[in-house]
Homo-oligomer: A and B are copies of this chain.
Amino acid sequence: MALMTAKEYIDSLRKLKTRVYLFGKPVENWVDDPIIRPSINCVAMTYALAQNPEYEDLMTATSNLTGRKINRFTHLHQSTDDLIKKVKMQRLLGQKTGSCFQRCVGMDAFNAVYSTTYEIDEKYGTHYFENFKKFLIYVQDNDLVVDGAMTDPKGDRSKAPHAQEDPDLYLHVVERRPDGIVVCGAKAHQTGTINSHWHLFMPTVAMREEDKDWAISFACPSDAEGMYMIYGRQSCDTRKLENGAIDVGNAKFGGQEALVVLDHVFIPNEYIFLNGETEFAGMLVERFAGYHRQSYGGCKVGVGDVVIGAAALAAEYNGAEKASHIKDKLIEMTHLNETLYSCGIACSAEGAKTKAGNYQIDLLLANVCKQNVTRFPYEIVRLAEDIAGGLMVTMPSEADFGSPTVVGRNGETIGDVCNKYFAARPGVPVEHRQRVLRLLENLCLGAAAVGYRTESLHGAGSPQAQRIMIARQSDLPAKKKLAKVIAGIPDED
């Protein structure tokens, strides 16, 4: 089966009966909804670029399961080179969309579930690995988008899943049948979930024996009976409803987060990949998180490239691009952005083969990568705002720039006045200045800031989660030993 085109992908969504709620109401034709559509365009880009021969090497791969050419987003990494290409593909997509393109969570889930199910089967003689391979071949062959769904609502953070007052606050099994299970619960902050064909659910924390019913992983389609999504709102989301193309900042692309609810959803046995083997919940979380922390060393770097380019353009339009402090700030932004990229590349280059045969990133370096992602985009944004100037947040609306309302003594319209007073560098159309500043507003404070800033903090785990992993991986005893040898302290251990 061939790779889908962008158009085929969008059409495929229309065939799904996905239930979507927005601003308190059902959205019937959600594919064409102006709030939602930019996020679909973003995912569509993962199809469009795979059709482009220029990007074939990055965007496609050969399936180790079927030998067929597949979209890299459905690939099981077969080498460190594959891991590096993943990062480069993500940077490319960040560059092309200036947004979160949402398809990474699925890819990261595939690779984590693949190697973990192998190890569960090894221990318990279960058949999760075979289940999963069949499922993944179907995904690869049909070039589907799959949401990797991990984050439960969690309720009282001080209590384990089984100890919550409301058991649904972690996704769990409410009924076991011979042919499958019935599950209840929800996943919050789900990136691109509405734009997905299928969903791959995983637990969100390490678990103990008592959490048996919460230790589940499975796949189900977007329009499974009992499943629905409630759209999350973003900064400046309703600018998309204003019928303009400028104030929205990025008229074509955007991210998406939603609450996914599973209200007594039936899951057939063949789509189950973990079911009560509690001690593997932690491994699955750690591996998925590891891959996803690597991802941020690619996608956010691509968005960073757009921020840097936009800031440089704003400086040019302002006529300030030769000032030494402006040049220095652009260097600093580049330096920080490429440091993130270096971390993404390094944890890939240092990857290793799992028992199942696919490749995993270096866990320490992937956590270091993500930890930097929780910091540098904020500084990059600050520098971008510095370069852009205050007009980014004080400029009149697109409607003003185009308004025919007369205000001046000589018949000048509001539009005339805006164009007169916001002209900067001679020769640059004011609209271009408007556009680049609105793009920067979008990235620094608007809808894209949700992805570039807050998601950089909390996506794939909050900063403290990485610090815990760094502590675990840092092997302090070995480092103490190095110091002892040099200091001449005998090693008593």
List B contacts of A432 (CB < 8 A): 489
User: Which of the residues B264, B319, B462 comes within 8 Å of A157, measured between beta carbons?
Assistant: B319
Q: Which of A21-29, A114-122, A210-218, A278-286 contacts B (4 or more CB under 8 A)?
A: A21-29
Q: CB-CB < 8 A to A488: which residues of B?
A: 245-246, 251, 435
**Contacts A402-B24, A489-B436 known; A394 to B334 CB distance under 8 Å?**
no
Beyond A231-B396, A339-B339, A386-B463, 7 extra complex contacts between A and B, CB < 8 Å: A23-B397, A232-B396, A263-B407, A305-B479, A325-B467, A342-B347, A445-B446
State A425–B258 Cα separation when bound (angstroms).
Answer: 21
Q: Is the CB of A390 within 8 A of B486?
A: no
Question: Scoring A residues 367 to 384 as 1 if CB is less than 8 Å from chain B, else 0, what string do you get?
Answer: 011011011001101100
Instruction: Check A143 for interface membership: any CB of B closer than 8 A.
Output: no
Query: A343: which B residues are within 8 A, CB to CB?
Result: 339, 342-343, 346
**Within the complex, what minimum Cβ distance (angstroms) separates A407 from chain B?**
6
A206 within 8 A of B: no
Question: How does the 8 Å CB contact mask read for A245-277 relative to B, with 1 for contact and 0 for none?
Answer: 111011111000111010110000000000000
Whether the pair A349, B397 counts as a contact (CB closer than 8 A) is no
Residues of chain B within 8 A (CB-CB) of A455 are 390, 393
Q: Which residues of chain B are within 8 angstroms of A239 by Cβ–Cβ distance?
A: 238
A423/B169 contact (C-beta < 8 A), A234-B393, A368-B339 known: yes
17 contacts between A and B (CB under 8 A): A22-B400, A156-B319, A235-B441, A235-B446, A236-B236, A259-B394, A305-B479, A324-B328, A331-B471, A338-B368, A339-B339, A342-B369, A346-B346, A375-B382, A386-B458, A389-B462, A390-B454
How many monomers of this chain does the complex have? 4
Check A450 for interface membership: any CB of B closer than 8 A. Answer: yes
Segment of A2-10, A101-109, A306-314 in the binding face? A306-314
A345 close to chain B: CB less than 8 A? yes
Tell me if B400 and A439 are in contact (CB < 8 A). Answer: no
Q: Which residue of B lies closest to A468 (CB)?
A: B331
Return the CB mask of A299-338 against B: 1 if under 8 Å, else 0.
0000001101110110010111001110110110011001
Indicate if the CB atoms of A312 and B476 lie closer than 8 Å: yes
Knowing A230-B396, A247-B233, A424-B155 touch, does A264 contact B386 (C-beta < 8 A)?
no
Residue of B nearest to A426 (CB): B156
Q: Is the CB of B454 within 8 A of A98?
A: no
* Chain A, range 446-471, C-beta contacts under 8 Å to B: 446, 449-450, 453-455, 457-459, 462-464, 467, 470-471
**In the complex, A228 has a CB within 8 A of chain B:** yes
Q: Please state if A338 and B365 are interface contacts (CB–CB under 8 Å).
A: yes
Name the residue of chain B whose CB is nearest to the CB of A410. B263
Contact A400 B230 (CB under 8 A): yes
Residues of B within 8 A of A463 (CB): 386
Q: Does A385 contact B (CB under 8 A)?
A: yes
Judge if A405 is at the interface, Cβ distance under 8 Å.
yes
Check A235/B236 contact, CB under 8 A, given A397-B23, A439-B487, A488-B251. Answer: yes
Question: Per-residue CB proximity of A477-493 to B under 8 Å, as 1/0?
Answer: 01111111111110000
**A142 contacts partner chain B, Cβ-Cβ < 8 Å:** no
The answer to the question of A364 belonging to the interface, with a C-beta cut-off of 8 Å to chain B, is yes
Question: Contact at A486–B250, with CB atoms within 8 Å?
Answer: yes
